[in-house]
Amino acid sequence: MRSDIIVERIETLRLKDPKRYETLIKEGMAYEQGEYGKEEKKTVSLKALEDEYFSKDGGYANISKSVLSGNRDEVVKQTKEQLSKGKDPVDLVSNALMPGIQVQCEMYDQGNAFVPEILLSNDAMLGGISLCQEKLGNIPKTGKVITFVAEGDLHDIGKNIVAAIMRANGYEVIDLGRDVPASDVVKTAKKENVQMVCGSTLMSATKPGLVEAAKLLGKETPKVPIACGGSAVSKQFVDTFDNAIYTKSPLITVNTAKDVGKGKGWKEFR
């Protein structure tokens, strides 16, 4: 996206919604201080990424493109149009809204996008997701989960996406935020009777927070596993400690929660 367009949209956001603007800037500063995107990856063209992630449905693809360009107003407008046509809200989240942020993150990972673009795309996507959540209304809850970022880590964009996707799939989400001590996670898990905990970190230095949370959950609430994700997290790492499941993406996290709700234990995921 052209830099002048990015600056214009950020300035518009600052004037229209200073509170959300301040939140996004803080997230961006924290995001820049982390390790996300430092690993070298094979460069893939924008067109190839769009072909891989975007739906063949024109209406859905247009929403994805609007998310990618960070145009919240257009995302809201197009999402309303699709909902008025009777499109399934959960399907819209998974196949129209999410692909836009996925492509943006891939571009960032390759060094072809920057933090302001990710923040604008994330903000645009959440505008559409909020409409889908409103449409879903008071549907029966699929289950209850906790989301949090490991102690010492201030990067919560990924966690926010997971929380939004879980809610769109009917889950009650208790979002503890970022920089959360393992003891607080366990205390909440016991009090709220959750079926799964979703923990993430983008920094290698804060991975022990996930290990500690898994260990305490195993002692205090043995039937509640922790789903671990984030750019610093791998399956190889998660497989080194008990009561933990590696989930590579928000949608995999949703499917994992469904299986856990059916009685599948963490060992069965290994």
pLDDT tens by residue, 39-71: 445 688 999 999 999 999 999 999 999 999 999
d(CA 77, CA 55): 18
The sheet that has 226-229: what strands, in order across it? 171-175, 143-149, 196-200, 226-229, 244-246
- Taken in order of first residue, the domains within the chain and their CATH numbers are 3-136 (1.10.1240.10), 143-269 (3.40.50.280)
The reported pLDDT for the residue numbered 36 is: 41
Q: pLDDT tens-digit profile of 136-188?
A: 765 567 899 999 999 999 888 788 878 877 876 778 999 999 999 999 999 99
Containing 144, the helix (H) or strand (E) segment is strand 143-149
Return the percentage of the chain with pLDDT > 90, whole number: 55
**pTM, entire model:** 0.59
The reported pLDDT for the residue numbered 109 is: 64
Write the CB contacts of 15 (distance below 8 Å, at least 6 apart in sequence): none
